[in-house]
Chain A
C-alpha cells in the first residue's frame, strides 16, 4: 500500500526523490526519538518517584502524562541568558554540538536487517567515533560560559569520558572478535544461534557486557557518575549558565545518548531484534522490532534504577574504577576470548 502511495511524489520530484525520501525518513526517526525522549523524562520522574515512595508528576493530564509537553512549553518560552564575558558564538554552538553528535550516531543503528539508514561495514568504528565526539559540547560549554563552576564541570567530564572510552572501546573489540564483523547487522545476525537468549553475546562476553553497561552510564554523565553536574559541589557543572531552550538542548542530548547506549547494548550483547526463545517456539520465537524495543527499554529502566539506588561516586574513585579495574578486566577478557575462539569449546559462531 505504501508503495502505491509513493508513486506520485516519486514522479513529481524525479531525481530529487532519493534525497527527499531520505530526509523524510530522518525526520521521522527524529520525531520518534523526541517522543521517546519526552516519555523517558516522564518515566524517570515516575519510576524514581515510586522507588522513593513518592507519586511523581500527576497534575497535568491523566497520571501526569502531558507533563513532558508542559515542560517543553515552559522551557521554550524562557529567556536564554548569555553571561557577561561569555564567548557568545561558542556558548550557543555548544548545546547544538552535543545534540548533533547524539543524533549523528543513529545513522548506522539498525532496527531490523533492512531498516537501517546506512548499512556500512565500519559501523562499529563510526559509532565509537561519534560517541567520543559528544564530549566537545560539554567542554566548549564549560569554557564559553566564563564561569568557574561550569569550567570545573567540563574538565571533570572531559577526563572522565576519555578514560571510560578506552574501556568501552575494548569491550567493543571483544564484540567484533566474537562477531567477526564491524557491521551492526552482521553482529546481530552472528548471535542467531539455536538456543535463544543463550546464544547472544552477553554469555561469552559477560565481563565485557558489564563493563560496557557501566561505562555507558559514565559516558552519558548519568548518576552515579554525574560529577560533571555534581550539584552538591559545583551547582550544575557545565550547564550552570544555560537557561531555557539552550539548557533543554543539553538535556535532550543527554537523554538521546542514554537511548543510544541502551539501544547499542541491546544490539551488541542482547541479540537486537532476535527473540529470547528458541526459533522452535511458535509465535514467541520470531524475531521482530518489539524485542529490540523491549531490551532497550529494560536497559533504560536500569539507567533510572541506578540513579535512584546509588550515591554519586567520588571523583578519584571514578578514575580508579575506569583505569585500574575496567581496562585490565577488558584486556584480560580479550586474550581469554582469543584463546577460547581457537578451541572447539567456542560454540557461538560457526
Chain B
C-alpha cells in the first residue's frame, strides 16, 4: 500500500464514520458538528484528487459560512425528540422511496466495473506548475461564460427573492433615529462646554446648601 493509499483510506474511514454519526447522533448540535467533520475530510479527499480549488472552496463556503449559520440556527432550536418521533410512520413511504433512489444511484456509480467501465484509463497527472485555480477561472470565463453568468443571475434572483420574502418593514416608532445620522454626530451636538472660572465658596452659603 502506498502512502497515498493509506491517506485515502484514512480519510475515507473518517468520512464514513462522520457521515454515519450525522444521522445517528441524538444531539442535533453534535450531528451538525459531525457534518463539519465530514466536509473537512471530503475536502482532504478532493485535494488528493488534485482539485485543490474545490477542496479549499468547500471549506471556505460550506464549513466557513453555511455550517456556521446552520449551527447558529440548530443551537437555538428547542428540539423535542418525542414529537419528532411521532411522524415516523407517516414519513416512512416518502423516506423509503428517496433511500431506494439513492441506493440505485450509488449502485450505478460504484458498479462501474460491472458495466465494463473498469478499463477506463487513469487521467494523466497534471504537469508541474499547473494551477487548478487558474485553469478553472479560464474555463469559466471563456468557454463556459454564458452558463456561468446565467447561474450567477439565477443566484442573484434567489438572493433578492429571499430578502423580499423575509423582509419585515418595522413601523417607525418615531423614537428611532436614522443610524447614519447617529454615527455622524459630533461632540458639539451633544455637549456644551461652559467655561467656569474657579470661585471661592462663601462659608455661610455652603452651610445653607448643606442644610437643605
A contacts, CB < 8 Å to B: 90, 120-122, 125-126, 128-129, 132-133, 135-136, 139-140, 143, 151, 154-155, 158-159, 161-162, 165, 182, 316-317, 320
Contacts and interface: CB of A to CB of B under 8 A. Distances in A.
A165 B53 contact: no
Interface in B44-59: 52-53, 56-57, 59
A129 B183 contact: no
Given A122-B56, A129-B60, A143-B29, A162 B68 contact: yes
Given A155-B76, A158-B72, A128 B60 contact: yes
Interface of B: 29, 33, 36, 52-53, 56-57, 59-60, 63-65, 68-69, 71-72, 75-76, 131-134, 179, 182-183
Given A140-B33, A151-B75, A317-B183, A125 B68 contact: no
Contacts of B69: 158, 162
Nearest to B36: A136
Contact of B63 (A121, A133, A140): A133
A125 B56 contact: yes
Looking at chain B's contact residues, is the secondary structure mostly helix, strand, loop, or mixed?
Answer: helix
Contacts of A316: 179
Contact of A165 (B59, B65, B72, B133): B65
B52 A132 contact: no
B72 A159 contact: yes
Contacts of B72: 139, 155, 158-159
Given A122-B53, A317-B179, A158 B68 contact: yes
A133 B59 contact: yes
Contacts of B183: 317
Q: Which of B64, B75, B133 has the most CB of A within 10 A?
A: B64
Nearest to B183: A317
13 contacts: A90-B33, A121-B132, A122-B53, A126-B56, A128-B64, A132-B59, A132-B60, A132-B64, A136-B36, A158-B68, A159-B72, A161-B68, A165-B65
A122 B52 contact: yes
B179 A135 contact: no
Top 3 closest pairs, chain A to chain B, by CB: A132-B64, A129-B60, A129-B59
A231 B69 CA distance: 24
Given A143-B29, A155-B72, A122 B133 contact: yes
A79 to B, nearest CB: 27
B176 to A, nearest CB: 10
A135 B72 CA distance: 11
B64 A133 contact: yes
Contacts of B71: 139, 143, 158
Contacts of B57: 125
A250 B132 CA distance: 36
B39 to A, nearest CB: 11
A121 B65 contact: no
B75 A143 contact: yes
